DNA sequence: ATGAAAGCGCTAACAA
DNA sequence: TTGTTAGCGCTTTCAT
């Protein structure tokens, strides 16, 4: 094959130099060349110099595939997320890639779209690729057969953002229950009684659902539980919940329901960016004003949330730290330095201007 | 090493089954087992069945590292972006991963933070990993030594989003010049004469700069050229430009300058999401209203742009298509199916409600 | 301090 | 239709 069009080809040898080529040129054995290049074992100073020079001259690039084969380690990990173009996953993945790279691991990224079949495939592919470990955002709260592998095929595994029932592997997640609880308590403090939840979940079939779909992930159940816990025992009933896919359109439909039903919700907790935007869209459609007619808190601190008018109160999750924690746990497991159990990072309520006080308006 | 805590270990063999184990169990040779598993060559029906059964029973997982070593192909590609957590890159990367996966390639993702040194490292690492091809968002418009490799070490390369001067490799980008031109023309049609540009670039050292920094990428120069082209020959001078890092804070400072200088800019083109948010922040700080006192158009159609009030007009780029095109070009190059040259995808001006008409306000 | 050689698991050319 | 076997490039005992 000719060299790439337009790229200079100063090459003499068409094929990449191998260790043996370096060894020949330095007039040593493969073993010695390997030692000099790898910086281990005993090598004479002058010999080492010759080898290094030869390697440079031949433009030698270690074939890590061969090394991986020999060593049984690829220095690669796999990340399996629902969708890398989603802001939460892309930030968490960024942290994972950074952390892994600093420890000498490169990162494969695979998407599942929260589809269990794709997740099963992704895990199989990564196992075939002989990655040294996996970080997975599981799409099902209960299915884990595909993680249960035998012998050395069972690579270290860390779950991200969601727990899987019955699977005892290290899991890095945030305190979603506490986060939701705090948000609802903020509403309650401001006198809200009719509170709605807009919940994004891939488990929602088509439109907007009132009942919790089968197979929602732990993040969803935790947040719902946190909201319910905050409202419990106050004689104000349960929150009104709408489940839908994570899209602005679906969220808008859900928000419309919450804002037109009787009694109408005066405060809404959105579980992510898309749901929050759905509320904004619904309010503009109904001529309602955020922070006045409708109070809003959303999970995840997006860049736009503090800039829009009024700025939006949010439950911020430490996304980078979450990815970092997962990667750190994985690398420790790969190195056999003890296995972490559950890592739960705290959320932070950032109160801006999207929650109205309905107390002083009474009577 | 013991099996993962909590994960069942039904394994007999501690080590993964190899081809030879399958062959033994099926009572055939390695070659026959390989043929049955690989689905090539001639294999008797009954024999194939025995092999497949044996593989299943032994939980055989092809060691693709060994295959890669033998074949000289890893079925892996590398993507080198500035920052995967950035919305543009994460969407493009999503497309690349999808497209590559469908063609049987997995994807390494590496970040450079638009730092040439990190880019050089990233390329070296991927070459060592013996990826079959690379897609790079180059951080420099002129430096390309690190792409110029010898012989078979020179893997197929496709550039994404930015051109590199003097490097003749396939490049997938958008018509940024045309996009900027269209946006400015929209301003002109609405009577704007004092037009500002807020340009995000990693080449900006610290704060807000009036002169173009050294080493801005082609996307930046194209957009600036497009804006200048639109204004040229109309006797309204040049656009006022502010260059800064891509952050809301820096953009806000830049917008503040544009909105307080004499003559003050009545219309601003922002080159990305962060810059647009900076304009929003500056306007709110100055008590100015978008779509009335200040007109705004931004590159990239973010989900929030259509939901905020007023909705924001944008220059939309086909980001997914861009990534798809890059990946398709790369895979063709890997397969030796002819080399694509430059791919330039059109942008689309979506006019919403953030551009005021200053014509009818005259006198 | 250096070298010889085995072998990681797979594929394909060749032989039967 | 099936089997034999030679490597792919590297690391690492073991011997010198």
Res B314 pLDDT > 80: yes
What is the average per-residue pLDDT within A190-207?
96
Quick: pLDDT tens for B253-290.
Answer: 999 999 999 999 999 999 999 999 999 999 999 999 99
Res A6 pLDDT > 70: no
Residue nearest to nucleotide C6 (CA to C1'): A70
Element (H, E) at B281: helix B273-286
Per-residue confidence (pLDDT) for residue A23, from 0 to 100:
94
Quick: pLDDT tens for B91-108.
Answer: 999 999 999 999 999 999
* Interchain contact, A153 vs B93, CB within 8 Å: no
Chain A's closest residue to B129, CA to CA, is: A64
Same domain for A203 and A143:
no
Per-residue confidence (pLDDT) for residue B1, from 0 to 100:
33
Contacts of A236 (CB under 8 A, 6+ apart): A193
* SS3 state of residue A80: strand
CA of B34 to C1' of C13 (A): 15
How much of chain B, in percent, has pLDDT values that exceed 70?
95
Same domain for B352 and B219:
yes
Say whether the CB atom of A41 is under 7 angstroms from strand C: yes
Q: Which domain holds residue A111?
A: 73-174+319-345
Per-residue confidence (pLDDT) for residue A359, from 0 to 100:
86
Per-residue confidence (pLDDT) for residue B360, from 0 to 100:
65
* A39-48, A228-237, A279-288, B80-89, range with the lowest pLDDT: A39-48
Quick: pLDDT tens for B32-52.
Answer: 999 999 888 889 999 999 999
What DSSP character marks residue A145? G
Asked, for residue B67, whether it belongs to a domain, the answer is no
Token code pair at residue A332: 């420790």
Same domain for A93 and A25:
no
Res B315 pLDDT > 60: yes
Of B1, B65, B83, the CB nearest to A94: B83
Measured between alpha carbons, how far is A307 from B229 in angstroms, rounded to an integer? 32
Measured between alpha carbons, how far is A194 from B139 in angstroms, rounded to an integer? 51
Quick: pLDDT tens for A215-264.
Answer: 999 999 999 999 999 999 999 999 999 999 999 999 999 999 999 999 99
Per-residue confidence (pLDDT) for residue B206, from 0 to 100:
82
* Interchain contact, B7 vs A168, CB within 8 Å: yes
What is the average per-residue pLDDT within A338-354?
94
Per-residue confidence (pLDDT) for residue A360, from 0 to 100:
64
Asked, for residue B55, whether it belongs to a domain, the answer is yes
Per-residue confidence (pLDDT) for residue A74, from 0 to 100:
97
Same domain for A194 and A101:
no
Same domain for A58 and A127:
no
Measured between alpha carbons, how far is B21 from B166 in angstroms, rounded to an integer? 53
Same domain for A148 and A123:
yes
Same domain for A325 and A183:
no
Per-residue confidence (pLDDT) for residue A9, from 0 to 100:
39
Per-residue confidence (pLDDT) for residue B151, from 0 to 100:
83
Per-residue confidence (pLDDT) for residue B339, from 0 to 100:
79
Same domain for A307 and A210:
yes
Per-residue confidence (pLDDT) for residue B18, from 0 to 100:
94
* B108–A contact, CB cutoff 8 A: yes
* B174–A contact, CB cutoff 8 A: no
Element (H, E) at B274: helix B273-286
- Do strands B295-299 and B342-345 pair parallel, antiparallel, or not at all (unpaired)? unpaired
Q: What is the count of structural domains for chain A? A: 3
Same domain for B238 and B104:
no
Asked, for residue B7, whether it belongs to a domain, the answer is yes
Higher-confidence position of B133 and B1: B133
For A208-215, the CB contacts below 8 A with 24+ separation are A208/A242, A208/A243, A208/A244, A208/A250, A208/A253, A208/A254, A208/A257, A209/A242, A209/A243, A209/A244, A210/A241, A210/A242, A210/A243, A211/A243, A212/A241, A212/A243, A213/A243, A215/A140, A215/A141, A215/A142
In strand D, which positions have an atom below 7 A from any protein CB?
A: 1-13
Same domain for A288 and A240:
yes
* A55-59, B4-8, B82-86, B198-202, range with the lowest pLDDT: B4-8
Per-residue confidence (pLDDT) for residue A338, from 0 to 100:
80
Nucleotide nearest to A46 (CA to C1'): C1
Asked, for residue A68, whether it belongs to a domain, the answer is no
Asked, for residue A208, whether it belongs to a domain, the answer is yes
Examine the fold and report which residue of B19, B43, B62 is the final residue of a domain before the chain moves on.
Answer: B62
* Interchain contact, A94 vs B108, CB within 8 Å: no
Same domain for B190 and B161:
no
- Judged by phi (left if over 0) then psi (alpha if -120 to 50, else beta), residue A351 lies in beta
Asked, for residue A209, whether it belongs to a domain, the answer is yes
- Chain B, residues 320-359, CB within 8 A of chain A, namely 336, 339
* SS3 state of residue B93: helix
Asked, for residue A67, whether it belongs to a domain, the answer is no
CA of A115 to C1' of D15 (A): 57
Token code pair at residue A45: 């100073």
- Do strands A313-316 and A348-350 pair parallel, antiparallel, or not at all (unpaired)? antiparallel
Per-residue confidence (pLDDT) for residue A188, from 0 to 100:
98
CATH code, domain with B42: 1.10.260.40
* B125–A contact, CB cutoff 8 A: yes
What is the average per-residue pLDDT within B240-245?
98
Same domain for A103 and A30:
no
What is the average per-residue pLDDT within A262-276?
97
* Interchain contact, A97 vs B107, CB within 8 Å: no
What is the average per-residue pLDDT within B146-164?
93
CA-closest candidate to residue B340, choices B322, B326, B319 = B326
Of B15, B69, B169, the CB nearest to A4: B169
Cβ contacts of B167 on chain A, cutoff 8 Å: 6-7
Res B10 pLDDT > 70: no
Residue nearest to nucleotide C8 (CA to C1'): A70
- Chain B, residues 59-98, CB within 8 A of chain A, namely 59, 61-66, 68-69, 74, 76, 83-87, 90-91, 93-94, 97-98
Of B6, B65, B302, the CB nearest to A168: B6
Say whether the CB atom of B37 is under 7 angstroms from strand C: yes
Res B4 pLDDT > 70: no
Asked, for residue B104, whether it belongs to a domain, the answer is yes
Query: Which of A74, A76, A151, A169 would best serve as a mutation to test chain B binding (most B beta carbons within 10 A)?
Result: A151
CA B252, B258, B261: angle at the middle one, nearest 5? 130
How many angstroms separate the Cα of A40 from the Cα of each of A18, A22, A44? 19, 17, 12
CATH code, domain with B139: 3.40.50.2300
What is the average per-residue pLDDT within A47-76?
95
In strand C, which positions have an atom below 7 A from any protein CB?
A: 1-13
Res B358 pLDDT > 80: yes
What is the average per-residue pLDDT within B204-231?
96
How much of chain A, in percent, has pLDDT values that exceed 70?
95
Cβ contacts of A126 on chain B, cutoff 8 Å: 106
């Amino acid at each position: 094959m000719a060299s790439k069009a337009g790229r200079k080809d100063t090459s003499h040898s068409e094929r990449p130099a191998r260790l043996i080529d370096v060894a020949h040129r330095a007039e040593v054995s493969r073993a010695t060349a390997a030692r000099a290049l790898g910086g281990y074992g005993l090598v004479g100073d002058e010999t080492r110099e010759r080898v290094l020079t030869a390697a440079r001259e031949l433009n030698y690039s270690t074939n890590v595939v061969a090394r991986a084969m020999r060593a049984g380690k690829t220095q690669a990990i796999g990340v399996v997320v629902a969708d890398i173009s989603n802001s939460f996953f892309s930030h968490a993945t960024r942290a994972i890639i950074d952390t892994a790279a600093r420890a000498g691991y490169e990162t494969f990224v695979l998407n599942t779209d929260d589809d269990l079949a794709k997740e099963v495939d992704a895990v199989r592919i990564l196992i075939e690729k002989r990655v040294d470990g996996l970080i997975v955002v599981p799409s099902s709260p209960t299915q884990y057969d595909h993680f249960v592998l035998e012998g050395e095929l069972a690579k270290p595994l860390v779950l991200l953002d969601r727990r899987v029932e019955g699977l005892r592997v290290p899991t890095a997640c945030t305190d979603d229950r506490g986060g939701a609880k705090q948000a609802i308590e903020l509403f309650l403090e401001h006198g809200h009684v009719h509170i709605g939840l807009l919940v994004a979940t891939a488990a929602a079939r088509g439109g907007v659902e009132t009942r919790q779909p089968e197979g929602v992930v732990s993040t969803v159940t935790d947040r719902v539980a946190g909201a319910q816990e905050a409202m419990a025992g106050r004689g104000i009933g349960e929150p009104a919940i709408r489940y839908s896919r994570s899209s602005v359109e679906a969220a808008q439909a859900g928000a419309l329901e919450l804002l037109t039903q009787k009694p109408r919700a005066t405060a809404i907790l959105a579980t992510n960016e898309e749901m929050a935007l759905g509320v904004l869209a619904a309010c503009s459609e109904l001529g309602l004003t955020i922070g006045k007619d409708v109070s809003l808190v959303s999970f995840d601190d997006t860049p736009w949330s503090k800039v829009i008018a009024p700025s939006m109160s949010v439950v911020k999750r430490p996304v980078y730290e979450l990815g970092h924690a997962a990667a750190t746990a994985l690398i420790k497991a790969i190195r056999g330095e003890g296995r972490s159990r559950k890592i739960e990072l705290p959320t932070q309520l950032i109160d801006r201007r999207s929650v109205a006080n309905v107390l002083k308006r009474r009577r």
